[in-house]
Structure 1
């Protein structure tokens, strides 16, 4: 048995790490399931009046007037074979800072007219938090009003807006011409069960390999002591 001691001491920490990673992924899976259930419940519930400091991804309703003269484009998105972007329009509010509203996807080149409602409107959607542009993020074209990272303060400065909320609103609604709004709240992927199975499978494989090796090792004759 002494011949197995050192290999076992090496294998045990590896086994522990694999079991820990599998258990961690299961915990992440349960957390993600709860989050998805919360998102589904919020999606099914009616929109709540927007506040000055709403939680990200909350379904809300906001009232104001669209400032179509300060429209901008956010990001790039291909649908089918058509390249488009998201139409970003300030919503001017009497009792609160202006709000950048993502009204939905529009093609960059289209002969279909874009709806631009006038006067007071109430829009429903979900709260989109500001982004922190990554190192490889595309450079915004402030002069051309084309943005690739959602940074409300930076966009507001380029559009000449004196006050802006530090978050945005993404419109939810059915397909009804252009812009084409979002249908659902964003949902994170949930692949943690597959990761857990992978880690537990590796742990089981390690045990199997060690058991086969140990069995063969024990069957080998012990080396005789060296003689002078």
Structure 2
């Protein structure tokens, strides 16, 4: 029996930790489900005027004056079109708001190899706010001279456009898809929804706790049979 004290103590500690982590994931599950319910409610509701401090899961709209000739492309993605796969990027244009600050707006994916500003952009674009993304280790180098960017950084994109006082976030436009074959940007269709894998995580931790119990029973049985 003495030979079971150490493995028993270690197994009990690991068992308690696993159960605790499983319960914590269940609490996270309830929190995440509530957050997703709020996002779905916001998705169904009309957009509200952008507040001074916009949230990440909120549908908003802005007004202002588009700056002529200011455009950039973000990223590179291939979309299927009636003519076949076509490469393009997210068209970004600059909007000067009433207080004078400039907001960069991602109007959606376009089949272009270089940025071309829209002649008739939406008067009051609606969508959601996106925080800047830090440059990744394997991200391609931006090409401000051609207006091509691979990091969603409003400060860098605004600087490449020759703009100052650019908001530290970007508006991702939402709206209906243009008809097939249209050259209009393809805006986002939904608010961003965070992944919800907490149920699977909880099952994993509870399963690990069950394996610990099973393993301890096997070890105890072997040692008791030898004694």
Q: Could you say whether these structures have the same fold, taking a TM-score greater than 0.5 normalized by the shorter chain as the test? A: yes
SS in 2 for 1:198: helix
Post-superposition offset of 1:88: 0.2
Q: Distance in 2 between matches of 1:54 and 1:42?
A: 13
Mapping of residues 81-120 of structure 1, within 5 Å: 81-108=85-112, 116-117=119-120
SS in 2 for 1:5: helix
SS in 2 for 1:139: coil
Deviations 1:94-125 (A, max 9, x none): 33311100000011359xx985316x811111
Post-superposition offset of 1:66: 2.3
Post-superposition offset of 1:17: 2.6
Q: Distance in 2 between matches of 1:107 and 1:215?
A: 67
Q: Distance in 1 between matches of 2:69 and 2:145?
A: 14
What is the match of residue 30 of structure 1? 30
Mapping of residues 139-178 of structure 1, within 5 Å: 139-176=141-178, 177=182, 178=184
What is the match of residue 189 of structure 1? 195
Conserved? CA contact 2:71–2:117, under 8 Å: no
Q: Distance in 1 between matches of 2:142 and 2:203?
A: 42
Conserved? CA contact 1:59–1:125, under 8 Å: yes
RMSD: 2.2
List alignment gaps of at least 5 residues for structure 1.
222-228
Conserved? CA contact 1:73–1:147, under 8 Å: yes
Q: Distance in 1 between matches of 2:205 and 2:41?
A: 32
Post-superposition offset of 1:86: 0.2
TM-score scaled by length of structure 1: 0.86
Conserved? CA contact 2:63–2:98, under 8 Å: no
Post-superposition offset of 1:62: 0.7
Deviations 1:171-226 (A, max 9, x none): 111012410110001111111211211121111011012112212322333xxxxx
Q: Distance in 1 between matches of 2:14 and 2:97?
A: 59
SS in 2 for 1:69: strand
Q: Distance in 2 between matches of 1:155 and 1:168?
A: 10
List alignment gaps of at least 5 residues for structure 2.
none
Q: Distance in 1 between matches of 2:25 and 2:138?
A: 29
Deviations 1:36-68 (A, max 9, x none): 111111111111111332222321111123234
SS in 2 for 1:207: helix
Q: Distance in 2 between matches of 1:168 and 1:8?
A: 55
Q: Distance in 2 between matches of 1:219 and 1:56?
A: 61
